[in-house]
Each structure stands twice: as C-alpha cells, then as structure tokens.
Structure 1
Amino acid sequence: MVAAGTLATLLVAALASLFMAWAIGAGSSGSTPFAPAVGANAISVMRAGLIVGVLGFFGAVLQGANVTEAVGTSLIVGAPITATAAIVSLVTAAVLVAIGVFAGYPIATAFTVTGAVVGVGLALGGDPAWAKYREIVALWVAVPFVGGSIAYGTARLLRAERVPERVAVPTLAGLVAAIVANIGFTVLGPPGVQRSLAGAVAAALPAVVVAGVDTGRIAVTVAFAVVVALALFRDMTLDEARGQRRFLLALGGLVAFSAGGSQVGLAIGPLVPLLGGEGASVQIPLLAVLVGGGLGLLAGSWTGAPRMIKALAQDYSSLGPRRSIAALIPSFAIAQTAVAFGIPVSFNEIIVSAIIGSGYAAGGAGVSTRKMAYTVLAWIGSLALALAVGYGAFTAVDAVV
C-alpha cells in the first residue's frame, strides 16, 4: 500500500513530467522536424504541427526506452533521484524551455534537462558520472560540425549541374532507406531487446554466411534501399517537383519520429527511479510511462509548436527544397545515432546546425548570423543556468521540506 503523502508526491512529479513533455513538444521535438519543409513551402505550419505530434508519439513509444533510462539512471552516481528531486529538475527545465518557446528562441532541451538533473543529483550528494558526461559532451560538440558538414556537402551535391536531381535525390533516398532498415525497434525483438526491420526479415530467411559474416541483413538492407531509390526515381521522372516534395515530407516524418524517440526521455527520464526497479514507490511498466510521455509531446506539438516552426523556418534561413533535404538527412542520422546509444541530444542544435550548413552551401544566403549567435549563447547559458538553478532550488526545497 502506497502512503497518501507518497502518492501525492508521485502525482506532482508526474504532472511536472507532463508539463516538461508539453514544453518539449511545443519547442524542440514539435518544431524542428518540419521546419525546413515549411520553409520550403512543402507543407503548412498548422498541418506540420499536427503530423509531427502523431509521429512523435509513435517514436516515443517505440524508441524512447534508451534515452529515458539514461536520463533517469546514468547522469548521477550513488544517489538515485527522489520524487522531490524529480519535481525540481523537471520544473526547472520546463520553465526554461517554455521561456524559450514564448520568446521565439529555440532553447536546447537536452542542455536544460541534463543540467537540471545533474544539479539536483549533486545537491542530493551524488557523484558526477564522468564517463557518461564525456559521451554526451562529445556528441554535443560533434553535432554542429558533423551535421553542418554533411548538410553542406549534400546541398552542394544537389546544386551541382553535372549531377541531375532526378538521380541525386533518389540516391539520397536510398541511403536514408538503408538507415531506416537498420533502426532498432522494441516491438520487433524479444522482451528487452531491439531489432531492426532488416534484422527481422533476415532472421526469417535461410542464413547465408560469407567469410564468417551473415549476409542476410546486408542483402535486405541493399534491397530495401534499391526499391525506395527506384520508386522515387520513377516519381521524379513523372514530376520532378512532386517527387522532391514527397521525399522532403518523408524526411520530415522520419525526423519527427526520431525526435519522439529521443526527446521523450528528457521528460520522463527522472521518473524512472520512482516507478520501477528496487526501492521504487510503485511499479509501473516503462511502456506505460512512455505512452504518457508521448501524449504530452503530442499535446505540446498541437498547441505550441506552430510558433517555433515559424521561427525556425522563416527567421533562421530562407530554405528551398534542396537545402531543406540537405538539412533533414544529417538530422535524421544523428538523431538515430543518439537514440541507439542512449544519449540525450538537442534537436534544436541538430536542426539549426544543419540549416546553417545547407545555407552556406548557397553562399550563406538567408542565414541570420546575429540570431545564430544569440541561439548558441542561449544553449550554453541554459545548461549552466539549469544546473545552478536545479542545485539551488533543490537545496532550498530540501531544507524546508
């Protein structure tokens, strides 16, 4: 039997988590995936917010476990997050993200949540998880360079006159399809194990081993990539603009799905020590928690995302279809890498870096350098501020309570 006071505390923590999920849906995961598509006039702002919410929900449920567990258990050593600490960290991060949403600046959600969780964890008496911090910082530092460089190279390829778009775009679609075929899904594997579409299909086929390597998964991946590339090539042969637009919207959908898988962990991760495992006040399956977090993302996307979509699509860069495609491809790949390794990552950082890279491929046209500088400062400041406020707020609350 759970005591009434404990149940009330858990309820407040859950409400704080839903508020955080709403803020993320309205800001990071809700606005960034379709911002380039909106900038290219491939979809309206309101329709983008509707679609990204649904896809983000499914991404949260199907891919959210890795980052959720990392945020809940891997950022602090020796001091499990308590209900009060979860409330303080979530409210601190959510308020900072909400301020960014209403001010029109994309605050890096992963920075604020990570800073807040680490801050309250240190205030609890825990030790820094240096190994995990090195992984996180390495990815955060690499994102602007890797994402921007890939976006720049892709945009230059699409602008090259010697490579027809009806060949370049389907080729890129085939590469994206190969990544999709190897994304891990919990529902495709045995309990507690993720399996990709290529892995699931290969497991159902007779094994063919060459030089000690099972070629089944490779063959399925190549076949899937070729089918997608040929389908888009046919579509672009009939109507090049329509085929390009469809690929752009498909990319936006993939990024939205990936955003849900990554960002839901930032909202519900602090609840993990409270709802499962030894010493937890109540036992709730992780899938149920993921569904709750996904619904919070969905609500945020439908109610608050249009403002940020407009900010990213129109204020950061005047994007055409080619530059939008160039921005979304690395965004999708980086997001899935972060999900696979269970590393919290900011979608605002990913998308904005890719937008800059694709923008400079066109000579920097339409890129607001001043706004970019303010955004970077906001990212750095949000991490430091969230850590300091989280530490101070929990210390104050703990002294009173």
Structure 2
Amino acid sequence: MVAVETVATFVVAALASLFMAWAIGAGSSGSTPFAPAVGANAISVMRAGFIVGILGFAGAVLQGASVTEAVGTELIVGVQLSAIAATVGLLTAAALVAVGVFTGYPIATAFTVTGAVVGVGLALGGAPAWPKYQEIVALWVLTPFVGGGIAYATAKTLRAERVAERFAVPLLAGIVGALVANVQFSVLGPGSAGASIAVATATRLGIPSVSGLPVGRILVTLVLAALVVVALYRNMVRDAASGQRRFLLALGGLVAFSAGGSQVGLAIGPLVPLLGPATPIPLIVVLVGGGLGLLAGSWTGAPRMIKAIAQDYSSLGPRRSIAALIPSFAIAQAAVAFGIPVSFNEIIVSAIIGSGYAAGGSGVSRKKMLYTVLAWVGSLALALALGYGIFTVVDLLVGV
C-alpha cells in the first residue's frame, strides 16, 4: 500500500513537472533564444518556435543533468523534498510563469522556481543553503552588467566605420567556435561528467599535456576556431548579408540548445529527491520527459513571447542581434557548467538592451524595462512566500 501511494504521489509530482516544462518552453527557453533573430527579420516567428523546440530538447538531454541536480538537492539543507512539496513548488512556479506567458511579460523562470523550491523547503523544516544562494545571486546580479556590457561593446565594434564587417563578424564567430569547442556534452565523456569536443578530440588523438598545460585541448580549440573564421569569411566575401544571417541563426541555435540544458533543470529538478528504490527511474528518462515538455511548450506557446521580446524591447538589426546573442550563449553555458539556475529572460533582455544602447538607445522601451525588472523581483518574493504558505496549509490539512 505504501509503495502504491509513493508511486501515485510521484506521478502527481511528475505531471506538475510536465506542466512546468510546458510553461518554461512557452516562456523563457522557447521564446528568448531566437527573439533577436526574429527582431532582425532573419527568421519568422513560427519557424523560430519550431526550431527552438527541437534544439531545446537536445540541450535538455545532453546538458540538463547539472542544473537539474542543483535545483533538486542544493537549494535546501537538511531535508529532501517530498512528492507533495515538489508538487506544490512546481505548481506555484508554473502558475506564475504561465501568467507571464499570457500577459506578454517575461517572468524570470529561475526566480520563480528557485523561490518556490526554497519556500516549500523551508516550510518542510529545511535550512537555507547560503553558499549556493551566494553563487546564484552573484550570477543574477552580474548578468545584466556583464551581458549588457559585452553586447554594448560588440555592437559598438560592429557599427564602427573603421572596422570592416567581413573581418569583424568572422572573428566573432571564431570566438564562439572556441567556446563551443569547450562546452561539456554528456555523450562525449565517461559517466555523467561529460567532456568537451576539444578534450575528447585531444584524448582520441593522444596529444599529451606539457608541464600541466593542456596542449591538445588548446590546439583543437584553435583549429576549430580557425575553421569557423575561414568558412564565415568566405561567405561574407561572397554575400555579407547572407553571412550575417547564417551566423545570427547559428547563434540562435546555440542559445536555444543552452536554454534546454539549463531550463529543464528548473522543471524536473524537484523530482530528483524522489528518484529512489520506490521509483527506480534513471535521470536520463526524466531529462527526456522534461525535454519533451519544453518542446511542447515551444511549439504551442512560444510565438507570443517571441514577438513580445523581439518587437517590444528594441528594434534590432543583424549586428545588434549578433551582439546580443554572443554574451547570452557564453553566460548560459557558464551557468550550466557551474550548475546554477539562471533566467534566460534576464540574459537575453539584458543583452538586447545593451546592444540597443549601442545605437543611442533607439527602440528601447524604458517603461517595458521597468515593468520587467519589477516582475523579476516580485516573482521571486511572491514565489517564495506562496511556496512556503501553500505548503504550510497543505501540511496542516493532510499531515505531510
């Protein structure tokens, strides 16, 4: 009887997780990666929603374990989330995200999920995980300044008359190629640790380290970056507009992949403490389920938010869009590497605003910016309070 009840509560929590995955797919992970590309008229809204769903699913499966485990086990000390606590936290966060989807305001998913999970965890009797909170807050606070600053500087460089685009754009693509070469993929390494393309290739070729210096990794990184530079330079020489468009779409794809790797953890992380003898389900199966939820959300709900972000925040051209997506990809991968839940709305919106100000702030809606920041801060506080309060009431009623 106990086993049946345990499985039943897990199923309820899993359904809540699936709803959360849909809300995330329709909101942050589904809408933000291609919003700059849509704003630059490089791709249509509907096609962007379709592609981002597929790439988000791939990212969830190949990179989702890090943030998933962090959300499930590192936000509260001393207790494990029960099935009911996970359900309350997920439904609270999902409801707030859904409100953002249907009102057109990008609610920061990481804020709502983190607040809700911490709220129910505290109500369950757990203690705050202060070291993890310091990491999370540091990333959240630095993101607008780092992302917006890099986007501003990149956009200024691309707009400078003395800098030829046929050289600048390929060089930027080379930097992105170097980053991609060092991104961790679970399928390239032993166990759950994963490995990067550079490390896996250097290992396969048998290139040793010299005095502790990873010579093989550096060489592979430089070679891959050079190949990207040469390929895009040739494209830019033939047709500059086509080269820009291809680079922009490639960046959108990389950000969409990274979004899946980060955001799936917000949906299925609370389920991790429930995986055990009573529910012997491998984490990869849960990641696939969360990825499918993201995909469904991207295909059904993302177009509305894509339009809102692309058109309401800044009138972007290809150069400013490229400037916005480069730091977005880098910050997203840093968050995945360190297992920190991060809001893609915050990343993308900050970068869009930074690149927009490179043109004197043209097209940037200050009123929309203010409402968005208030929504981010309010969603964190509201999610924490609701998670704590709702679980406390449920605990009193049913005696969890």
* TM-score normalized by the length of structure 2: 0.98
Matches within 5 A, 1:201-212: 201-212=201-212
Cα distance in 2, alignment partners of residues 206 and 3 from structure 1: 50
When the two structures are aligned, how many residues end up with a matched partner?
398
Q: Is the 8 A contact 1:2 1:281 kept in 2?
A: no
Residue 111 (structure 1) aligns with: 111
Which of 391, 395, 398 matches 2:395? Answer: 398
| 1:324 aligned onto 2:318 | no
Cα distance in 2, alignment partners of residues 147 and 217 from structure 1: 26
What SS does the corresponding residue of 1:18 show, helix, strand or coil?
Answer: helix
C-alpha displacement of 1:275: 1.4
Per-residue displacement from partner, 1:156-200 (whole Å, max 9, x unpaired)?
A: 010011110010000000000000000001111111221000000
Greater mean alpha carbon deviation, residues 188-197 or residues 131-140: 188-197
C-alpha displacement of 1:7: 1.9
Residue 370 (structure 2) aligns with: 373
C-alpha displacement of 1:211: 3.9
Q: Is the 8 A contact 1:236 1:243 kept in 2?
A: yes
What SS does the corresponding residue of 1:143 show, helix, strand or coil?
Answer: helix
What SS does the corresponding residue of 2:106 show, helix, strand or coil?
Answer: coil
Residue 73 (structure 1) aligns with: 73
Cα distance in 2, alignment partners of residues 210 and 3 from structure 1: 55
| 1:24 aligned onto 2:24 | yes
C-alpha displacement of 1:9: 1.1
Matches within 5 A, 1:1-400: 3-276=3-276, 281-400=278-397
Q: Is the 8 A contact 2:144 2:346 kept in 1?
A: yes
Cα distance in 2, alignment partners of residues 267 and 206 from structure 1: 40
**Partner AA of 1:20 in structure 2:** M
Per-residue displacement from partner, 1:324-361 (whole Å, max 9, x unpaired)?
A: 00000000000000000000000000000000100000
**Partner AA of 1:75 in structure 2:** L
Cα distance in 2, alignment partners of residues 375 and 206 from structure 1: 50
**Partner AA of 2:290 in structure 1:** G
What SS does the corresponding residue of 2:279 show, helix, strand or coil?
Answer: coil
Per-residue displacement from partner, 1:114-168 (whole Å, max 9, x unpaired)?
A: 0000000000000000000000000000000000000000000100111100100
Per-residue displacement from partner, 1:55-99 (whole Å, max 9, x unpaired)?
A: 000000000000000000000000100000000000000000000
Cα distance in 1, alignment partners of residues 341 and 377 from structure 2: 15
Q: Is the 8 A contact 2:3 2:278 kept in 1?
A: no
Q: Is the 8 A contact 1:115 1:383 kept in 2?
A: yes
C-alpha displacement of 1:3: 2.6
Cα distance in 2, alignment partners of residues 299 and 31 from structure 1: 13
C-alpha displacement of 1:208: 4.2
Cα distance in 2, alignment partners of residues 2 and 105 from structure 1: 43
What SS does the corresponding residue of 2:241 show, helix, strand or coil?
Answer: helix
**Partner AA of 2:172 in structure 1:** L
**Partner AA of 1:370 in structure 2:** K
C-alpha displacement of 1:2: 6.1
**Partner AA of 1:57 in structure 2:** F
What SS does the corresponding residue of 1:252 show, helix, strand or coil?
Answer: helix
Per-residue displacement from partner, 1:252-283 (whole Å, max 9, x unpaired)?
A: 0000000000000000000000014xxx5311
C-alpha displacement of 1:213: 1.4
Q: Is the 8 A contact 2:58 2:260 kept in 1?
A: yes
- Structure 2 spans left out of the alignment, 5+ residues: none
What SS does the corresponding residue of 2:46 show, helix, strand or coil?
Answer: helix
What SS does the corresponding residue of 1:254 show, helix, strand or coil?
Answer: helix
C-alpha displacement of 1:384: 0.1
Identity %: 78
Greater mean alpha carbon deviation, residues 199-208 or residues 30-39: 199-208
C-alpha displacement of 1:207: 2.5
What SS does the corresponding residue of 1:163 show, helix, strand or coil?
Answer: coil
* CA RMSD, Structure 1 to Structure 2 (Å): 0.9
The 1:195–1:3 alpha-carbon spacing in structure 2 relative to 1, beyond 3 Å, is same
Cα distance in 1, alignment partners of residues 193 and 325 from structure 2: 28
Cα distance in 2, alignment partners of residues 129 and 212 from structure 1: 35
Per-residue displacement from partner, 1:213-244 (whole Å, max 9, x unpaired)?
A: 13011000000000001000000100000010
The 1:82–1:209 alpha-carbon spacing in structure 2 relative to 1, beyond 3 Å, is closer
Q: Is the 8 A contact 2:89 2:117 kept in 1?
A: yes
